Amino acid sequence: NEKKEKSKPLINKEFAAARTILDEMELHEDSWPFLLPVDTKQFPTYKKVIKKPMDLSTIRSKLEGGSYKTKDDFSVDVRLIFDNCETFNEDESPVGRAGHNMRAYFDSQWADLNSS
Ligand SMILES: Cc1ncccc1N[C@@H](C)c1ccc2c(c1)OCCO2
């Protein structure tokens, strides 16, 4: 029977690439809704509706803290931000639009990284 494939450690090149994409996303003008965890006192229904909250500061802590074993683990958390955004926000709202813009930006950066 197949030995379970252990996930590879996030090698330095992958770590550096993920960090660069994260740096760029934090600087994007549309990142403001995603910089910090959603304040559940400000949005009391958020915790009930969104089962796995995620934001850029949490991803930063996980990346710097070695929580991601592969660059794809990192991308799963990034996409979770935008999926949560679509669940909770109207497409035509400021936050909804920002989420679509940020997802498109990430997808483009991610494609470049994976084509290089
Ligand atoms: C990504 C997201 N999804 C659902 C709800 C909130 C948020 N973001 C917060 C930062 C946020 C986004 C927009 C805001 C705000 C806070 O506070 C008041 C005015 O508008």
In this prediction the pTM is 0.91
Q: What is the pLDDT of residue 3?
A: 56
For the stretch 46-83, pLDDT in tens is 999 999 999 999 999 999 999 999 999 999 999 999 99
Contact 18, 56 (CB under 8 A): no
ipTM of predicted complex = 0.96
Tens digit of each residue's pLDDT (9 = 90 or more) over 15-42: 999 999 999 999 999 999 999 999 999 9
How far is it, in rounded angstroms, from Cα 60 to Cα 40?
20
Specify the ligand 1 atom closest to the Cα of 34.
1
28, 36, 42, 93: which to mutate for ligand 1, most atoms within 8 A of CB? Answer: 42
